[in-house]
Structure 1
Amino acid sequence: MENRTFAFIKTDKKLVKIFFKDINFIKGLGNYVEVHTTDQKRYIYYKTLKDLIETLPEEFMRVHNSYIINLTNIQSFEDNQLLCGDLKITVAKSYKDCLLESLGKMML
């Protein structure tokens, strides 16, 4: 299942199927994460950002201690601010170079 396009997460005592393309960003909440989707839904489940980033496909990137973003769903990037969905996310200095390199590969 290397080329899988979705994953199941356990939230509210049920398993929910989420397609990777539908995830805008993931916010860390200590030992929990909050997954924000393109259709404005939010799912909270028990997992750390550190553990989660290792299991996500390569289009996901950590840009801050508290955020993982889906590179395919970024609308704009300016002055260390990403616009992803309806939220502006500040990119930490330690992640900026890696982000610019990844975005450079996606440029025309």
Structure 2
Amino acid sequence: MKNRTFAFIKTDKKLIKVFYDEVTVIKGLGNYVEVHTTNHKRYIYYKTLKDLIENLPDEFMRVHHSYIVNLTTIDSFEDNQLICGDLKITVAKSYKECLNNALSKMML
């Protein structure tokens, strides 16, 4: 099960299959997270960002105390702002160098 392309999340008393390549941003809301997808759906479920980041594939990176992004869904990155679809996310100083290194490996 190491090479899974999806995960199930429990929201609204049901299990929903979410494919990793459809997840754009995961926003922390205390002990809950809000998962944003490429088809503009949002799911809220009980999990902390700290617990979640350990179980996500390598293309996911924490860029702020409250945000995890899917590196493959980043549209642009300028100064300290990431654009993922219709979301603007500020990158924290402590995560900026690591993000730059990851993005430089994806450059032509």
Match of 1:77 in 2: 77
- Alpha-carbon shift at residue 54 of structure 1 (Å): 0.2
Question: RMSD over aligned Cα, in angstroms?
Answer: 0.3
Partner amino acid, structure 2, of 1:106: M
Which residue identity does 1:61 align to in structure 2?
A: M
1:12 aligned residue: 12
User: Mapping of 1:34-45 within 5 angstroms?
Assistant: 34-45=34-45
Q: Report SS of the residue matched to 2:75.
A: strand
Identity %: 79
- Residue 55 of structure 1 corresponds to 55
Q: In the alignment, residue 104 of structure 2 is paired with which amino acid?
A: G
- In structure 1, list runs of 5 or more residues that go unmatched: none
Whole-angstrom CA distance in 1 between matches of 2:34 and 2:85: 14
Q: TM-score, normalised by structure 2?
A: 0.99
TM-score normalised by L of structure 1? 0.99
Aligned residue for 2:101, secondary structure, equals helix
After TM superposition, the runs of 4+ consecutive aligned structure 1 residues lying more than 6 A away are none
Count of equivalent residues: 108
Residue aligning to 1:106: 106
